[in-house]
Structure 1
Amino acid sequence: MLKAVSLSVSFAAEPLFTDVDLTLGPGDRVGLVGPNGAGKSTLLRVLTGRLTPDTGHVTLSPGTTIGYFAQQIPDPEQTVGDYLAGGLGEVHRVAARMRTLEHALATAPGPQVLDEYGRVQERWTDLRGWEAGNRLAEVRQRLDVAHLADDTPLWRISGGEQARLTLARVLLATPETGEQILILDEPTNHLDADGIDWLGRWLAAFPGGLLVVSHDRAFLDRTVTRVVELDGIHTAPQRYEGGYTAYRAEKTRRWQALLLDYEAQQKDLRRWEDDIARTRQHALGVETTMRKGLGTDQLRRYAKKVAKKAKARERRLRRQMESARWIAQPQTRPPLTLAFPDTEAVGLSAHGISVRTLLRDLDLEVAGGDRVRITGPNGSGKTTLLRVLAGQLAPDAGEVTGGPASLLPQTHDTLRTRTTVLEHFRAHVPVYADDAEALLDAHLFGPETWDAPLATLSAGELRRLLLAIMVNSTARVLLLDEPTNYLDFDALDVVEEALRAYHGTLIVVTHDAYFARAIGLDREVAL
């Protein structure tokens, strides 16, 4: 069991979160949600011992271990085979020793070698080592890394493949017992539909505790029974029962109830203020009469009584406003604005497209205003097709006509540079610096971010920057490759609303069923 008590973390003297209490035990299924920058990844680092909190502590019951997936790039010099085998832990080490001893027995047998081989083989049996190969093969197949040769260095494979390898290693290293805790940060980002389905079934059978950060709403509905939100407004976490759908419904209900309570309170406040003002005015009138010498002793006593009553009411109102029951004005985060250009819809045609072994003689006709979803397993050529349609990759054969098209890529591998936010934006949107700054500000990139290198931005911030470039481009066809990756729920709502209102042509690769329905993708092309 993992138990976190009163965790608090601040950056630059500003609290990121405070008083976080969390218990994860066998069978617990918790989703951690919140906007980008609210502290989700920081909290995961605290829970896994990678960051010391300002206050509070995390304890693990004896025998409890943590498996942590954070999409961190592994050592690029390792090979695929060695990296995955490392996830098997002692089983891998014992099997490697057995192979060494078997070679020794074949070349220079002796009683000492034979004795050690017997002990190692017994340990391999205790660990049920014969199951390790089957587990390794299944995880590689299900997470779509089986095609990678064992001797391939990690620096030669894509960021998506590295992420899937890392997830595979975490699952391989996870004992399927109730003492294990799994903490997963966006595990579905680079999985296809089959991979997500398999991961959901694997987690359903996992007896330990699970804490998962995910933007995939269907996945959260399927895998979690509680939601903890770091909302970027309250420093303390907000808690909800159920999956994603229940969380959003309850959050909406709480917000509406809060607004009604606040409006009722403000109505009472205005009534109290009016009552105090009338009492003050009445007391002032009596005092004026007294100053003119027109009052009696009885009137003086009455004037004091009225003035005392006004002050008492002021004190009561002040105490009420300072009490814990007083409702502060409900706060919301600065809204993201997004509106794609309302241009005439144009089509796109691809004829005889071939790219290496991925695409063979592919034809695609997309009429102006069509909303097309490209589907297929990882490695089927979805991303390659979008790059060809965008003019970023020349096909080995065939041609593309129509457009122009703008591509939102799936990954940000090429953006981790020292180029600043403003420089990158102006390189793709040719406007004056003042205009660029105004446009960036509208997409929640304030002055403090304009000179920030792209390499320092989070994945969610890079996603918003690419969307800002896309909506300010002259493209007539939008190509979106897993557009929901790295976006928080508030940003997803805005993107979905903007795409619903967009009258142009959409060609989208997405594993997010919620998103596909929300933006009306009504035609499917399977690769």
Structure 2
Amino acid sequence: MSDYQINHLEKQYGARKLYSVARLTIGSHARIGLIGRNGVGKTTLFNQLVTKRVIQPAARVLLVPQLKPTAELSGGEQVRQYLNEAFSKRPDILLLDEPTANLDVANIQWLENRLKRFCGAVVTISHDRDFLDDLCTTVWELRETQVAVYLGNYTDYLAKKTAAESHQQARYDQFAAEKKRLKKTIQKQQQRADHATVVPKNKRGTSEIHGSKPYFEKMGKKLHQVAKATHSRLDQLDEVARPKQEKPIQMAIPNAEKLKGNTVLTVNGLSVARGDRQLLQDVSLKIKAGDHIAITGPNMAGKTSLLTALINRNDNSVKWSPLAKIGYFQQDLADLVGADSVIDNVAATSIQDAETVRLILARLGFAAASWGKPVNVLSGGERVKVSLAKMMLSDVNGLILDEPTNYLDIGAITALSDMLKDYGGTLIIVSHDRWFVRQVTSEQYKIVNQHLVNKLGLQKMAPKPNEAEKLQLALKQTELINQLAMTPNDTALEHEFQEVSRRLRALK
């Protein structure tokens, strides 16, 4: 089967151009991940791909839209049902919009294995890094109306982006150094030119000065011309944009000093049920101030019910420190006022300074021009970001987050993980995003057969990867990326890069 082509594909809303694609190729057995920030047009692009005559030669294209759990079916059950129906229709190209949203780890792994066996092409929108790493061999990034193509999985894509950013930083450093040198040279040349027109003290008032004056004027003029030529070189320097450098965020944590080293939550013999169904029994744990923990487990095991019990239970089974101030993030976003602007929603409960408010909004992808937008005109992912920003900036010293990464783009998830890693308060999260959990927590609990099991012991027994080999492979990967940038069509280099990347992924 030959490859499929997408040519001259555009989409515009009013004056705003979402994307303009000159040419894209989908191999007959491709595994492609489509990434980009919320609102950039990924789902719109998918909707356009299912229309006739967009893909050539003609292909049977099937789109599985983003799914949400219902009272009757869990997320995993829905995905299995939709995928089985899709596979029975035998499409040439299968488009999946956020297929891992609302799936537990077991269902995500089932999905990965099922898609690997699919005989056609797969293009998937996803924010799950591990899923993109395990499944995809190509990444499409939709950014600034263009789709950039990167060979390899998400880790390979990141490595190439990092190398490009390093190259940009080196170019900027070289430009800044040359600009500084030329400015200093011009200053010295100008001083010499000005000084050359001044008659030396030992010649003032003597007969020699009458013959020497034209000489000094000529010398001064010549030196001014030299300075002017150097200034012209400065003006002709190709401007190199300074790479963006993010400022660190320091948030004030109420009662941080008083809570330091103390237990903030004690759970003893807690049982959790939903109606007549027993979900958890005999849950016992202690959490100290500043701990970052994750609660994982299969769909319908009772993770959200456990969080609700920790917040609402008022008996001897759940005891919070009187100094604890806990913010609880839920997917219903009930804390937002739809008619109010982004900045008004966030500022209404913020105890942080104005700079911290600006930094967190910017880090989550909100440009200053969008702060005045009413929340009710934002996309679902953007509303989640506003709710998270509002909670983090409010008068709390602990966060309980229930699936905070659902509907966020990868950039926002990365920003959120960076902020939570540095967060000085207590953190309890429920998340199916394996990468996110690894980044922001130091301890994991899993629901197994109605019991909450600490996974730390299992983690300690796991063998550590060879760090020296990882470093050596990472350096080789960067070297190959730089070589490929110079000779992008060198197949031998590309194969070597893929092999190094594969070995590095295996170690990670």
TM-score (norm 2): 0.67
Cα deviation, residue 221, structure 1: 0.5
The separation in 1 between residues aligned to 2:190 and 2:386, in whole angstroms, is 56
Q: 2:99 aligns with which of 166, 176, 187?
A: 187
The separation in 2 between residues aligned to 1:438 and 1:319, in whole angstroms, is 37
Cα deviation, residue 183, structure 1: 2.6
Which residue matches 2:153?
Answer: 243
The separation in 2 between residues aligned to 1:288 and 1:15, in whole angstroms, is 62
CA contact (8 A) 1:336 1:491 kept: no
Report sequence identity in percent. Answer: 29
Q: Say if 2:158 is the partner of 1:261.
A: no
The separation in 2 between residues aligned to 1:221 and 1:339, in whole angstroms, is 33
Distance 1:295 1:209, change over 3 A: farther
CA contact (8 A) 1:69 1:167 kept: no
Which residue matches 1:62?
Answer: 57
Distance 1:411 1:3, change over 3 A: farther
Equivalent pairs counted in the alignment come to: 421
Which residue matches 1:509?
Answer: 430
1:14-33 residue CA offsets vs partner (Å, 9 max, x unmatched): 66555664211212222222
The separation in 1 between residues aligned to 2:48 and 2:25, in whole angstroms, is 14
The separation in 2 between residues aligned to 1:6 and 1:275, in whole angstroms, is 50
Cα deviation, residue 225, structure 1: 1.4
Which residue matches 1:443?
Answer: 360
CA contact (8 A) 2:34 2:123 kept: yes
User: Is the deviation greater in 378-387 or in 308-317?
Assistant: 308-317
CA contact (8 A) 1:176 1:207 kept: no
1:24-60 residue CA offsets vs partner (Å, 9 max, x unmatched): 121222222233344444444454459xxxxxxx831
The separation in 2 between residues aligned to 1:296 and 1:419, in whole angstroms, is 75
Q: What are the residue-to-residue correspondences of 1:491-510 with 2, within 5 Å?
A: 491-502=412-423, 504-510=425-431
CA contact (8 A) 1:164 1:190 kept: no
Which residue matches 1:86?
Answer: none
Which residue matches 2:283?
Answer: 364
1:452-510 residue CA offsets vs partner (Å, 9 max, x unmatched): 44332223322222222332444455322222223334433343344334455433222
CA contact (8 A) 1:406 1:475 kept: yes
The residue type equivalent to 2:82 in the other structure is R
The separation in 2 between residues aligned to 1:284 and 1:49, in whole angstroms, is 72
Q: Say if 2:300 is the partner of 1:383.
A: no
User: Is the deviation greater in 451-460 or in 254-263?
Assistant: 451-460
User: Is the deviation greater in 415-424 or in 183-192?
Assistant: 415-424
1:100-151 residue CA offsets vs partner (Å, 9 max, x unmatched): xxxxxxxxxxxxxxxxxxxxxxxxxxxxxxxxxxxxxxxxxxxx98x93xxx
Which residue matches 1:24?
Answer: 26
The separation in 1 between residues aligned to 2:5 and 2:126, in whole angstroms, is 22
Q: What are the residue-to-residue correspondences of 1:299-314 with 2, within 5 Å?
A: 312-314=229-231
The separation in 2 between residues aligned to 1:486 and 1:272, in whole angstroms, is 50
Which residue matches 1:467?
Answer: 388
Cα deviation, residue 249, structure 1: 2.4
The separation in 1 between residues aligned to 2:234 and 2:21, in whole angstroms, is 30
Cα deviation, residue 513, structure 1: 2.0
Which residue matches 1:212?
Answer: 124
The residue type equivalent to 1:244 in the other structure is Y
Cα deviation, residue 346, structure 1: 0.5
Cα deviation, residue 377, structure 1: 1.8
Q: 1:71 aligns with which of 66, 72, 85?
A: 66
Q: Secondary structure at the match of 2:96?
A: strand
CA contact (8 A) 1:70 1:184 kept: yes
The separation in 1 between residues aligned to 2:397 and 2:46, in whole angstroms, is 41
Distance 1:407 1:413, change over 3 A: closer
The residue type equivalent to 2:86 in the other structure is A
Q: Secondary structure at the match of 1:215?
A: coil
1:319-363 residue CA offsets vs partner (Å, 9 max, x unmatched): 442xxxx5332346x779574736325014262332214435623
Distance 1:200 1:411, change over 3 A: farther
Structure 1 unaligned runs (5+)?
51-57, 74-143, 149-156
CA contact (8 A) 2:329 2:391 kept: yes
Which residue matches 1:488?
Answer: 409
Q: What are the residue-to-residue correspondences of 1:383-422 with 2, within 5 Å?
A: 383-391=304-312, 400-402=318-320, 405-410=326-331, 412=333, 418=339, 421=342
User: Is the deviation greater in 459-468 or in 189-198?
Assistant: 459-468
Q: 1:169 aligns with which of 82, 87, 100?
A: 82
Distance 1:415 1:283, change over 3 A: closer
CA contact (8 A) 1:218 1:514 kept: yes
Q: 2:182 aligns with which of 257, 272, 275?
A: 272
The residue type equivalent to 1:266 in the other structure is A
Which residue matches 1:141?
Answer: none
Which residue matches 1:34?
Answer: 36
TM-score (norm 1): 0.65
User: Is the deviation greater in 26-35 or in 410-419?
Assistant: 410-419
The residue type equivalent to 1:33 in the other structure is I
CA contact (8 A) 2:250 2:356 kept: no
Structure 2 unaligned runs (5+)?
200-208, 451-508
Q: Secondary structure at the match of 1:173?
A: helix
**Greater relative CO (CA pairs within 8 A, separation 6+):** 1
CA contact (8 A) 1:346 1:476 kept: no
Cα deviation, residue 191, structure 1: 0.8
1:207-257 residue CA offsets vs partner (Å, 9 max, x unmatched): 32222222211111101112233456xx64444332122222222222122
Distance 1:185 1:376, change over 3 A: same
CA contact (8 A) 1:372 1:508 kept: yes
The separation in 1 between residues aligned to 2:50 and 2:198, in whole angstroms, is 72
Cα deviation, residue 401, structure 1: 3.4
